[in-house]
Amino acid sequence: MSKKTISVGLDIGSSKVAVCIGTISDGNIDILGLGKSVCNGVRKGVVVDVEETVTAISTALEEAERMCDCPIENVIVGIDGSHIESTVSRGVIAVSKSDGEISETDAIRVIEAAQAVPNQPNREILHVIPRTFTVDGQAGISDPTGMSGIRLEVDTSVISGSLSAIKNVNRCATQAGLAVSDMVFSPLATAKIMLNKQQKEIGVILIDIGAGTTSYTVFEEGELIHSGVLPIGSSHITNDIAIGLRTNINLAELIKIKYGYASPEKIDEKEEINLSSFDKNDSGTANLKYVAEIIEARLNEIFVLIRDELRSINREGMLPAGVVLTGG
């Protein structure tokens, strides 16, 4: 094991922390250790309790280390949250070589030029992702290296986050005894696993419903064209059920998991469950059609907001590969 390069991912979510230890070879991942822990120190992707979050990280880390029998020091952290923003930026440079041949250095320089956009002091850039290059006015180029030209341009997606939110995530990892080698926008990592090349090429949206947030990434012609995070997730559905049934959060979560359905028209109006099956001290009942109506309403809100985002980039109904849903 010592001869292999070990990669470690740390995902800090609104309901749990997960640590994954593995090796990567020829594009294949060999999982060596996996640990997770309940986390109550994060809300909507933002750390609100450092001590609670550090404890959750340490617990998940210890579990993963026991599985692979190796100590971990460096991690790649997946970051999410409603503070994450995606903007479009353009970089422009003059080709450096006198013969006009575009080098890899030129491609790097033009991306760096796109990154040098005026940025608010309270934000930090996580990724600058090239979408398409333009050489002397010829647009739609995926890789300009080796081509000839004078003027090189690039359109990019710039993903940034709140500086304080990022620092707090880093602080939690550090206090748990870890060094952060890199930070990655979590939905991008999810897309690498969930989407294939063809889906990304013809156009697709990946929607990831988490506990406190819902993230989305839109791909077309193989490139990321839009992304974002909504401050609404599955915990909001649980809260809605708790309010609707006038019960506690824990019971509402159990009802959601065991009986939750998002299509009330498919449930008989008289179908009910006794809450005493979950809590012997609760003698009430719950109408499952009503529960489904609660779930449908909140999911409809989420999907309408995402539809509006697709409208803003003129992609509503224009993604042949459709929607890929994930979460958990």
What's the CATH number where 141 sits? 3.30.1490.110
Q: How do beta strands 323-327 and 123-135 pair?
A: unpaired
Q: Is 70 exceeded by the pLDDT of residue 74?
A: yes
Dihedrals phi, psi of 14, to nearest 5 degrees: -80, -15
The answer on 324 and 206 residing in a single domain is yes
Q: How do beta strands 151-162 and 46-47 pair?
A: unpaired
- Looking at residue 184, which CATH number applies to its domain? 3.30.420.40
Q: Is 26 part of any domain? A: yes
The answer on 89 and 64 residing in a single domain is no
Domains: count for the chain: 3
- pLDDT tens for 156-211 read 999 999 999 999 999 999 999 999 999 999 999 999 999 999 999 999 999 999 99
Closest CA relative to residue 127, chosen from 90, 156, 153: 156
Closest CA relative to residue 20, chosen from 1, 7, 39: 7
What is the radius of gyration, based on Cα positions, of the chain? Answer: 23
Q: Which of 28-37, 68-77, 231-240 reaches the highest mean pLDDT? A: 231-240
- pLDDT tens for 81-121 read 989 999 999 999 999 999 999 999 999 999 999 987 666 78
Range of the domain at 173: 6-82+164-189
Q: Is 70 exceeded by the pLDDT of residue 37?
A: yes
User: How is residue 173 written in tokens?
Assistant: 């990892």
Q: Is 60 exceeded by the pLDDT of residue 3?
A: no
Instruction: Reduce the DSSP state of residue 270 to 3 states and report it.
Output: coil
- For residue 214, the cross-strand partners are 209, 230
- Residue 316 DSSP symbol: T
The answer on 185 and 272 residing in a single domain is no
Dihedrals phi, psi of 109, to nearest 5 degrees: -65, -40
Q: Is 135 part of any domain? A: yes
Q: Is 80 exceeded by the pLDDT of residue 5?
A: no
